[in-house]
Structure 1
Amino acid sequence: MGITLGENQYGKAENRVVRIYRDSPRHEIKDINVGTALRGDFAAAHTSGDQGNVLPTDTQKQTAYAYAKEKGIATIEQYGLDLAYHFVDGYEPVHGARIEIEEYAWERAVVDGAEHDHTWVRKGQEVRTADISVEGVGDDQRTWVVCGLKEFTILKSTGSEFHGFPVDEYTILQPTTDRVMATSLVAKWRFTTTDIDWDAVYTGVKAIIVKEFATLQSLALQQTLYAIGSAVLEAYGEIAEIRLSAPNKHHFVYDLSPFGLDNPNEVFNADDRPYGLIQASVIRDDAPDAGPAWTMQRGWMG
């Protein structure tokens, strides 16, 4: 029986980096969580413990903090690209790098009706993400950027139906033409280029997600996800595909009849588990190869 080393990578996860820009009386803040992972000629480290080619994970951590100052964090996408190119171009044993970043948003505190110059309140709407993959050097180098958001909780009180499903002896769910639909959405979209106005596209995609969710008379959450994905691809030719994951945050009409009360879809029990998990990808027919864009993500190499 032959045994070989399969795909592998190593790096430093959960680097919490906060960058304050203090070059004017009105300060700016960037709050991010950075994970780095390197791939390359590291077989000896696994098979014999030889660390000769292994750039320490602590060095990766220190680079992430140093680059927050040297390169800055204008956008998490450009910061991630800077880190990835540094590792791949600067260390011969490294053939590829993956940088995963989450950004936590803050809004300025309001004091006496005016925004404060150096105090913020944490916003809880969603977490912005960027996954950067770089493989190879020189003319053979290729780059993949996947941007997105997670923990984006959105709810509408009507405009959602669910009926026409198969029924068997274990089915107790009743069909409905008017229900609450809510989810904590994860969305990630893959670009075909790095020549992007990252902030503008992020804002635009988020607006499309909200519009399609709100305005579609939805017969299923699956239909909503496909409508979101299609609208994003129609709006942005530089996006090759989008993947969406939507846990169904169920809201069940509560039975108030024991108290002699009618409840016409006004009072609900919000169940957090178990929940339906709806996932879909929407992709262009001519989308370029995804390469490692979706593989070897932090925590698992699936």
Structure 2
Amino acid sequence: MSTASAALAAYLAELAEQRRLSPHTVSNYRRDLEKLLAAAGETPLGQLQVHQIRRYVAQLHGQGLSGRSLARTLSAWRGFFAWLGEHGAVPANPCEGVRSPKAPRLLPKALAVDEAARLLEPVDGDDLRLAARDMAIFELFYSSGLRLAELAALDCDALDSVLHEGELRVLGKRSKARLVPVGRMARQALAAWAEVRGELAAADESALFVGQRGRRLSHRMIQLRLSRQAVLAGLPRHVHPHMLRHSFASHVLQSSGDLRAVQEMLGHASIASTQVYTHLDFQHLAKVYDTAHPRAKRK
């Protein structure tokens, strides 16, 4: 491969076309790897040494990049060099053994149950069709723990199994399909939206959720509508789709204690990804203990 830019383009193409990573993930890889090329400058990638990679990481840290972001960036660099090695473009992987500064473990932010209930209360003054659509979106996020990309990609053919079987087939990361349950309130909201969707949707549009122009609703518009709903509901913080996914997971775990079931419903490949919710669950248990146990109550 003649240039670093050409190698990068070929690598990103493989991630998208062969490994079938999402456009969002490929975009993140591109951004992280462009930092590598910028730091390397005129130095060929095959000549980079471990001490240079460490210096680049230190420079990014000095520019304010967090430990979490640096870990992701280093992972992208490591994977790129491994790929270059497989193609005989570099003699060794200079990222091996390089570690990013340790990032504090942040717990996912979740709504309290009463906050979720407030969020899902209808608001006045909106176009009834848009209100029906938004409520179906919000209920589905909270009912089934979908990712934003999974919900936005849904087509109308998903409605039949939702309304009749109470389940939804979604295509998750790496195009992995899974079935998720859909609760009663979400099914009712989806049925209400299905009745009026035809008034907004273009005749040839297959998307389940559409905007005022009749086409598939964008990720950004879904985020904006949810944020707006939170403000109208009087919630004291910004609410985004992933917060509803976290709320779904933590509330199900608090009620059931079944970590494996939550893993399946979220579509996590590893139980380790789901175990963060046990910390949320413990916080809930600790709060109950502090308020209920005679020896724990503060005077």
TM-score, normalization by structure 2: 0.24
TM-score, normalization by structure 1: 0.24
Choose between structure 1 and 2: higher strand proportion: 1
Instruction: Answer 1 or 2: higher relative contact order, Cα 8 Å, separation at least 6.
Output: 2
